[in-house]
Every structure is written in C-alpha cells, then in structure tokens.
Structure 1
Amino acid sequence: MKMKTYRIRKPKIVVVGGGTGLPVILKSLRNQSADITAVVTVADDGGSSGEIRESMNMTPPGDLRNVLVALSDMPQLYEDIFQYRFDKSDNYFANHAIGNLIIAAVSEMRGSTYEAIQLLSKMMHVDGHIYPSSERPLTLHAVFKDGTTAVGESSIAVDRKTIDHVFVTNTNDNEQPKAARKVVKAIEEADMIVLGPGSMFTSILPNLVIDEIGDAIINAEGEVVYICNIMTQKGETEHFTDADHVCVLHEHLNSKFVDTVLVNTENVPDDYMDPEIYDEYLVQVEHDFQKLRDEGCRVISTDFLKLRDGGVFHDGDKVVDELFRIVFGARY
C-alpha cells in the first residue's frame, strides 16, 4: 500500500468549534503552511450576538467575527476597530461589537450570513475558509440527568445541573438542521479534523450533533484530534477528567471517533485565575490516561499552558507544533 505524504502540499486541516478557544489555535495555524477551514457554531444566543440574531433573524455573528480576525492579516488598527465594543452606557449600541454590526449589515445586503462571511473573508484577506456549521440559526437544547431540560445556549449552565446530552433544532422551522455548504466536503477531504479547545456542550457539540457533520467526522479518513480543555467549566464539565470529555463526545455520536487527544500536564498556579473575569472556570482538569486509551485514543500529554491577563489558555504555537508533528506522521 502506498504511503501518504503531505509534504508536497499544504495539509488540509479543519478546525471545529467556537467561543474563545478556536481563534487561539487558528491564529497560530495561520502562521504555518496549512490549508485551513474553520467550522463555527451558530447556536449562540447571548450578548451582542443574541440580540442581533433575534432582531434580524440571522445566524449569530460573534464567533464568526472572532474567527475572521484570527485568520486575517489586516493591520492591528483595523482589527482593533473591527473588534471594538461600544460602552455599556451607549444606549442602543451598548455592548455591540462593530464587527458584529458589519456582519449583520453584509448579511442583510447579501441575504445570507454564509455569503457575508465569504465576502468579508476576501475583504479582510483571510488565509483559509470560514463556514458557519449551518446556514440557519440553531437553538441548542440540553437534557439533564434529572430529566429536566433547558433551551438556549445561554441558559444551559445557569442551574449547574449535570448534562446528559444536547441537541440542536432549526430556530425558525421544524426541519432537520443541515450542514452549511462545503462543510461536509471539507471534512471528507481533510488530513486532520481538530475539535476545540472550547466549551464542550456549547461550542463543540452544537456542530457535531448536526447529523451531516457528525457522520462526516465519524467516517473521516483524516486524523481526528481533540484538544482537551485545561480547566473545568461551571455548569458544563464540573468534576470532568480529560477522559470524561472524550466519553461525552463518543456518547453523542455513538462512535469512538477521536483518534488523538492533546492534554496539558503543566500545573496552573494556585489562585492565579482572576475570578471576577473568568468566573465560569473552576479547577484544573484531572487526568485519566488509562480511560482515554480504553476509549481508543492516542494521548499526547505535555505543557500546552499559557498564562496571561489572569486567565488560563492554550499556547497556540505549542499546540500547532504538535498538530503538525501528527499530520506529518511523526512517531511517538
């Protein structure tokens, strides 16, 4: 059998998720020689995104805005303007990011958020492809272990109940949610599919529980890599080990589809995190390497930690270095 090599071309890497974790990886990937596709959740219903989504009946722009910036080579001043958020005292515009308003305007002009993101990608010199996971706004539903339910991404963590599973529905009709154009093809052709880092139930799974996307990932020929969160998250993954994260992914798709897990082993200093800024993060995720292997995963554990501004993040450059070792066939 002929061995596959990627060195004669850029590896095709699809990154799936949302929230603040996805841009960290994308920024570092942009500095490497890769053919990047970002698949971004459209189930957010809070903050500026939620208000625009409700008033204009469009897919929420916030996560898409952050991904546009992460993959763009525009000057810092332009980025600062695009990311500027109006002051809380500014009445109608309070808390809205300028980039969200621009995406909303172009979406209205083009009749589609999907088309708006493609146009803005050209304007902002984006290095890669950005697709919303669905072309319609989705509503996220959570079913808790006690049998109760919650509707809407912003309401799921409020009561801090243990989540059994989540699913999505089209917000405006009863049709089955469908993947956006080119998303499935990108996954099928990828050399690697990267999940996370990000909130398990509200950033990663809302993409995977769209049947077409979940099936494409299960059947993907490329390596499926999960970047495990460093900290547990209030109302979502309290008391989770790294293996618990993977088990939830596998249970939702009823398949042991994750090939490799990246796990941070560097300790977060006690009392480092600023609870006033990062109040949703609780304690460092504990390790269960044997259970991860029982789930069929290769485990790569090392220092992926970056501390800044009173918060705990993945070091994008370290993560991407590891991703490239995997995609180029390095042996461990």
Structure 2
Amino acid sequence: MERKWEGEGQTFRVVVIGGGTGLSVLLRGLKELPFFLTAIVTVADDGGSSGVLREEMKMPPPGDVRNVLLALADTEPLLEKVLQHRFVNGSGLAGHSLGNLLIAAMKEITGDFVLAVKELSKVLAVRGEVLPAANQAIVLKAELEDGTIVSGESLIPKSGKKITRVFLHPKDVKPLQEALEALKQADAIIVGPGSLYTSILPNLLVPGIVEMIRSSSALKIFICNVMTQRGETENYSAADHIQAIHDHVGSSLFQYVIVNNQQVDSSVLSRYVLEGAKPVAFDEERLWNFGYRVIADQFLKYHTHLRHDAGKLSKTIWEILLRHRK
C-alpha cells in the first residue's frame, strides 16, 4: 500500500549538508517524501580513488558526490552495484570505483565538474540536485592539540591526537553560486549527519555558506551523529558536536537539534570496540542550554552497522516542517 502522509500535496525545498554514509542514508529516506532535495557536498576528500583523480585529472574529488548521486537516484539495484564497484586488478585501475571514473569521464566531456554532475544526474534520474560546495578541490588542514598542523582530509583522523580546529586552503575559495542560491530559496536547511571535522565543517567553512544559512528564512536543523568516530570525535557527546560547530562558525545557527537517545545492546556495541567508536551521549541539559529546540527519540537501525532509521528520521523532519509552516 502506498504510504500517505499528513499534509501530502505540500512541497518543501530542503537543502542537506553533510557527508559519508550518514548523509546517503538520510537522503534515501528524504527522497520518499514530497521534498525537492539539494545535497551540498564537500570537495576536500584527498584519499583513495578520489584523491588520485583529484590529482591526475585536476578536478574536485568525486567520491562523496558519487555516493549522494546514487542515494538520490532512481536506479536498479544492479546498476547501483556496478557504479559502486571498486576494481581490484589492473595497473592504474585498481582501487578506482566505476562511478568515480564515470564522473571523471563526464567532466572531460563537458569541461566542467558541476555540469558533469548535472548531466549524470539526468542519466541516473536523480530526485533533486547534487552540488559541490565549491567548483574546485579544497585542501583541508587541522591544527592538533599539540600545535601540529596536518594537511589532507584523509590524514587528519590518523593523527591519533585531538583536533583543535580545521581550516581550508586556499582561504579565499569561492562558493558555488548554485549552492548559495539553493540555501537562499530553501524551506529547510539540514546539517548532518556526517563526519564532523572532515565532512560537515569543510562545507560550512567555505566562505559565504554560513552567511547564507544565517540570512536564509529557512528552518535550520542539525542532526547529530549516532556514533563517535576514531580520530575525530572520540568521547564526544551530542553537545560537544554542537560546540565544535560554534567554535568554528559561531553560535545560533539552528532552531532544532535532532539526537538519538536509544540505548544500544551490548552485543552490538562489542562489534565497535576495534573501531574505537561508541554511541554519542545524549547530554540533554547542555543541549538545551544552547537555546535550540531538542528532539530526542529512538532513531537507530541495525543491520551490519548502526545507522539512523531513515524512515523515522525523515518523518520527524516532515512533521517539524508542517508545524513550522502553519
């Protein structure tokens, strides 16, 4: 039976800023609702296939863009599997995903990375649009607690030291105008989930992005990660995530914070010991002290990994938007 939603017939323009698996999971849920979706994706990745193509093709890294395109696409499962396939053999080919190579090919054909993503979006019947935060590759740098500077998104989590701050090079990177326009026109702007220092903040640090978020009349929502991440957010609570964003781009950026308060079975937690990850603690009082409206609920789903329950999370966002519009 086709699902019916309260308020069906209304359409919201929703911009989502994040990265990694968390963003893809969320978008798979949101695309089932009457939203026009825009995903703004970081171009700071410098590892693996993306890093090689970035260096050799002089293009923004395609990896995060590929994952988001597939999350929003109407594709057969087999086609998605093919595009996500990573070659294991071949001199120069091993390590590359077919989807990354396809984006690189389209970039050569069109002569422009953003146009390449738009054309590929048509081929994949993407619901919405996928935009890089900037139309150029960015180098992400981190200052660690001992004053050391680490250069490169892929190296930052490997330092083994607490991150004090991250920043971009070059400093005067130009934001993509289409991304700024999407933020301006949005009914809702959602930040997260995603790696805090290497996916979320690199987007927010692009000059003009946070300024446009602040000036937008959109409802602004932060979705906190469900698990900590080794090398980035070890022992971070939900409030620690918010504090890190405030430290980098200022406070009062959101109206709502969505956080998981579901307990995780010990048998599941034991599988994360080697990853150095654990559930993000819900420190309710500190969250409320930021002045945001806090929505806490059981948002977890477990198959092989703990993830957000995309359906429940999307329904929560839908209900917030309906209340806000009334």
TM range (shorter): over 0.9
What is the alpha-carbon distance in structure 2 between the residues aligned to residue 275 and residue 108 of structure 1? 43
- SS in structure 2 of the partner of residue 16 of structure 1: strand
Q: Matches of 1:255 and 1:216 in 2, distance apart?
A: 14
Deviation (angstroms), 1:137: 0.3
Q: Match for 1:315 among 301, 309, 312?
A: 309
Tell me, what secondary structure is at the counterpart of 2:231? coil
Q: Deviations over 1:163-220 (max 9, x none)?
A: 11111124xxxx6111113111111111111111110000100000012101111222
Deviates more, 1:234-243 or 1:322-331: 322-331
Instruction: Give the Cα separation in 1 of the matches to 2:291 and 2:302.
Output: 31
Using the aligned pairs only, state the percent identity.
Answer: 40
Contact 1:12 / 1:35 at 8 angstroms: preserved in 2? yes
| Shift, 1:101, TM fit | 0.2
Residue pairs, 1:1-332, within 5 angstroms: 9-87=10-88, 89-170=89-170, 176-272=172-268, 279-309=274-304, 311-329=305-323
Deviates more, 1:55-64 or 1:144-153: 144-153
Could you tell me the TM-score, scaled by structure 2's length?
Answer: 0.93
Residue type of the partner of 1:53? R
Which string of whole-angstrom CA distances, capped at 9 and with x for unpartnered residues, describes residues 270-290 of structure 1?
2425758x9545111112111
Q: Name the CA shift for 1:280/1:139 in 2 (closer, same or farther; >3 Å).
A: farther
d(CA) in 2 for partners of 1:107, 1:273: 42
- Measure how far apart 1:255 and its partner are: 2.5
CA distance in 1, matches of 2:82, 2:65: 16
Partner in structure 1 of residue 4 of structure 2? none
Give TM-score scaled by structure 1 length: 0.92
Q: Secondary structure at the match of 2:208?
A: helix
| Residues 62, 319 of structure 1: alpha-carbon distance in 2 compared, 3 angstrom cutoff | same
Aligned length: 319
Is the 1:28–1:317 contact (alpha carbons within 8 Å) kept by the matching residues of 2?
yes
Give the Cα separation in 2 of the matches to 1:307 and 1:90.
35
> Per the alignment, in what secondary structure is the counterpart of residue 157 of structure 1?
helix
SS of 2:216's equivalent in the other structure is coil
Q: Note the alpha carbon deviations across 1:105-160, whole angstroms, 9 max, x for none.
A: 11111111111000001111111011011100000011122221110001111122
Matching residue's letter, 1:188: K
Question: Which amino acid in 2 is paired with 1:305?
Answer: L
